Structure 1
Amino acid sequence: MTKLLAQHGAAKGRKITEGLSTAGLEGAIFSPNDEKLSSIIDYVLSTEGLNKSNTFLDPQFYFSVYDEGLLKKLGELQTYPSNIARRDWRRKSDSIMDYINEHSTNSRNISNTLITPGFYIDNVDWHFDYSIDIYNHCLENFEFDHYALSLLVDYSFFSNKTNVDEFIEEINDTVVEKDYIYLTFCYENKSESNYEEMDSSNLGNMLYTIYRLNQAGFKIILGYTFMNSILFSILDCEFVSSGWFNTLRKFQKTKFDLSPTFGRRKQRYTSVPLLSYITFEDLKTIVSTPGIEYDDVLSGSSYDTRLIESSESLSFVDLEQQYWESISKGVLMISESTTIEKRIVNMRTAINNAIQLYKKAIDVLNEKDELESAKRLKNASKHLVTWLEAIDIFQATAVII
């Protein structure tokens, strides 16, 4: 079954500690760009629920081809390289080798798995080839129980099925030992308020890629997931990882942008029945619909009673825990079935049930001529149709009946 990890970032506080004890977290992936490595190591060694089997260190090597101004804590490491060029790995330059060695040492302190440094990939080019080369180099030179090939792949890459097939074939043919793949998708910077909405063809190809890699013998750790962690659970991923800020739930190109980003946080509830990360306002609109009760839309989290009785008492920290708790329930709901055919059926059923709840509320709003509220709910739910279309594309491509 798929397990949920915390995607670590800034302002950790006690979030992971509490998530491990009450919110269904089963480990964490740590970011050395957001916290000093010495602090990360001390935290892991002193935190109940974390051990070398469920703790991972993200090398975040994708920043190395960009300006060093992007770096936070990584910039304090003397060995972390910047402005890496193609020739540097070919020559085995000290700037790369020193960081690989240090990353291995730091990983060994907290993990049985070495996530090998990999580049940001938007094409089947040297970034991709060298990521695999570095993985194979680490297999030969560092002794760990497990190894994970790190791949940060651009969302646009999956618009081209030829790219996808070449990508899968290259990994299958050139990776010396099939173990883990730490896979993250890098999305476009869009103002879309529905965080899950994307092109269904791209998403279908992303599902297909994970499925084929899994079939080839790789275990998948999927980084920076959102509500779609539930969707990806149909693929029998070993782990899905998600954090407390939206930036830790969806990796976007803004991470490669020196310009600051601003946004006002709204209180949102994570609803597994609606498969949505929904604003309090829209949730209240839905439960005011005749025939829809709170029990129809709540996830069964430990925060549900407070939501009903005094939603204003819920802090953002509370809602971060509610998010993890609900996601872990949703992931279990889908991944506990033993065959992909059954998981797909269960996922389709969950999506269609969510669509019907939204439709019932939208129809009533349209009848009342409350068009603005209806529009908001249509936007909040449009990813559900995209998910169904993506599953259709995936099933047709993978020939799963």
Structure 2
Amino acid sequence: MSTRGDLDFLDDLRRKYPHQPTFLQAVEEMALALSDLFDGPDGDFYQRAFLAMAEPERIIAFRVSWMDDNGKIRFNRGWRVQFSSVLGPFKGGLRFHPTVDEGVLKFLGFEQIFKNALTGLPLGGGKGGSDFDPKGKSDGEVRRFCEAFMSELCRYLHPSTDVPAGDIGVGGREIGYMYGQYKRITNRHGVGVLTGKSMNFGGSEIRPEATGYGLIYMTKIAVQRKLNRNLTDMRCAISGSGNVAQFAAKKLLEFGAKVMTVSDSNGVIVFESGMTATDWDAVSDCKNKHRGRLSSIQDKVSGQYYDGESPWSLDIKYDLALPCATQNEIDEKSARQLVKNGVLGVLEGANLPTDLEAQAVFRKADGVIYVPGKASNAGGVGVSGLEMSQNAQRLTWKSEKVDEKLHGMMDEIYSMMEEAELSGGTLEQGANRAGFLKVATAMRELGWVY
């Protein structure tokens, strides 16, 4: 198998984008997982296909001008990275966060190509967002920013071209404001150009819960098939406290697991005896209604708050690690500590939350289940695809039907990974290979790469 330094065909990308380290990390991680294909009899074709996938079809960049509550005009940058339309319209979320730049969005869009391919739905890959920070902004400021952002983006959206969703900093409130502006500008109503919408205007049941629920459905399947266990009383560490983390915790509680942690960028709450339903309500109320910090509810929950820490910085025994916060949150030191303390599985709810060195630790650890985010958090975009289908049919499906389809989707993704494992690979290699081969084959059939 090739090593990181052997992937010479990536040198041109490395020369062009040294200022985009997270994007290059995602590319190199994927290339390492596919190195057997690159070294095989059809390796030249697969290398050409990979390089084509690593360059976005187009990047749209624009200024966003909006007015704050004091009547001053503020400026932010906005982007939409339309990465790959091989399998269908560009599909991927919008992220509003001060760390957003073109390189971050390219990393997310590149990952999205393969995640979307794994769902089995006709979805291409894309990502977008802005360096606007919703934290500390009034509701009016967020609304005016969203309206300004959509005023620029709307000209590039269409149900058969590009359909964004939400991501960090973009929840139901922001999607609503952007969709309202789209309707106002275009006079098009009932058009599925955004997903994650309210049920009042074309949303899907289970969409807010989908990424977190899908992560736990995948976790449940992996634990059953690999460990011959169920989730009851398993000690599960969750990072983050946003949408994905909240609903992952909720589903774990339903399955009888012990949720040990939730966190935000300021600190972590540790529930030594496991989170309770009352604790979950307090976290949800803090984040969704008050948009506050976890430190503000430390006297309202049964857990202990640790300022400046994360689930991965504390020396605590976890059975399962479920990183749901952001990229590169688990480094080599944290990974070694998790393995030392007997972690049984690491399943990613965030995009690329484990850095390259930490991934190597998990791969070498005997018996540790490692599932990358492009497989384990694919439930969100999967249900976004189902929302698009409902919009096209002018129908709304019952929650039971959507949940059943979500569960089936995660089961099928796991089965694809398992096929690679039975052939001598790993679950991680199976996820990467299945997504890549689907896109590469379609590119060849379209005559885009040959």
TM-score, normalising length: structure 1: 0.33
Q: Greater RCO between the two (CA within 8 Å, min separation 6)?
A: 1
More helix by share: 1
TM-score, normalising length: structure 2: 0.30
